[in-house]
Amino acid sequence: MNAHVGPAQTLKFRAQSLLAYVLEPAQPLSDWFVALDAWLARSPTFFIARPVILDMAALELNLKEYRQFLNDLARRHIRVMGAENVDRGLVGPHLPPVVSAGRTIDAPTPREDPPTLQEEDAPATGQATPERAKSLIVDGNVRSGQTIIHPEGDVTIVGRVASGAEVVAGGSIHVYGALQGRVIAGISGSQSARIFCTEARAELLCIGGAYVTAESTSPEIEGRSLEARLDGDELKLRILS
């Protein structure tokens, strides 16, 4: 009697790199959560469905406090995939694993001249094409609810960024149209990142953690051509025309 022998099963696995945001909580945590909640009030979907790593170097928590801290983040829809610089006593089942040797993304120096565009008419769907390997050009409008993320360099939008839309870049952001949504430049840590737009009506302008909102912006800036840049820890706005 012959027994049928199936093919041997092969275990397949591979290594893969991905983009994760690193949060660096600091004491006192109550003040840190106040700052976090202010950020989330202006950009409520920023961390949703995005992997987050905690840098615990500035915190000393016991296990109970650590679990409560993770629960407080979870209630804000922040999903923690790992922790670095964490005490070994805070590692175990149902806790984020320890990660190390991550590489911070380096942003290129922003160019003085805007990139050359290949198409004059922008399709409504917003087609993104790479330029010079580090820049991203989006030909078309960024609609409400859409998010453009490009941590490797600059982003140029040839169109409008609608209210409720979001553009995130490792370098500078250029918007050749009305900017009504949220733009966050310099997420790679670049202090030289800037934001340019031809019609400023933004809900949020942010570079390196410094930000201004529509409520805190002078009325004389609304609808004007604008540049935003960091000056120390403060975001400075300059009317271009």
Q: In this structure, what CATH number is given to the domain that contains residue 217?
A: 2.160.20.70
Looking at every residue in the chain, the average pLDDT score rounds to: 81
Task: Note whether 135 and 80 are same-domain residues.
Answer: no
Q: Give the pLDDT score at 134.
A: 81
Residue 84 structure tokens: 């670095």
Task: Note whether 73 and 137 are same-domain residues.
Answer: no
Sign of CA dihedral 91, 58, 79, 50: negative
The angle at the Cα of 169, spanning 167 to 171, to the nearest 5 degrees, equals 140
Task: Note whether 235 and 134 are same-domain residues.
Answer: yes
**CA distance linking residue 237 with residue 219, whole number of Å:** 12
Query: Would you mind telling me the total number of residues written for the chain in this entry?
Result: 241
At residue 187, does pLDDT exceed 90? no
Task: Note whether 158 and 219 are same-domain residues.
Answer: yes
Position 96 in a domain:
no
- Domain region containing 165: 127-239
Quickly count: other Cβ atoms within 10 Å of residue 48's Cβ: 12
Task: Note whether 131 and 203 are same-domain residues.
Answer: yes
Strands 80-84 and 52-55: parallel
Mean pLDDT confidence for 108-121: 35
Task: Note whether 154 and 229 are same-domain residues.
Answer: yes
Mean pLDDT confidence for 95-109: 63
Task: Note whether 86 and 145 are same-domain residues.
Answer: no
What is each CA distance from 3 to 6, 209, in whole angstroms? 10, 66
Position 194 in a domain:
yes
Is the pTM higher than 0.75? no
Quickly list H helices, 43-142: 63-75
Burial class (CB in 10 A: 0-12, 13-18, 19+), 42: middle
Question: For the chain, how many structural domains are there in total?
Answer: 2
Q: What is the CATH number of the domain that holds 32?
A: 3.30.70.260
Q: Give the pLDDT score at 132.
A: 44
Position 135 in a domain:
yes
Position 6 in a domain:
no
In the block, which residue shows the tokens 């942003």? 107
Q: Give the confidence band of 38 by pLDDT, cuts at 50, 70, 90.
A: confident
Report which residue type is found at 196: F
CB contact set of 211 (below 8 Å; sequence gap of 6+): 39, 42, 204, 205, 235
CB contact set of 204 (below 8 Å; sequence gap of 6+): 42, 43, 181, 182, 183, 184, 211, 212, 213, 214
Dihedral angle over CA of 179, 147, 216, 228, nearest 10? -60
Position 32 in a domain:
yes
Q: Give the pLDDT score at 7.
A: 66
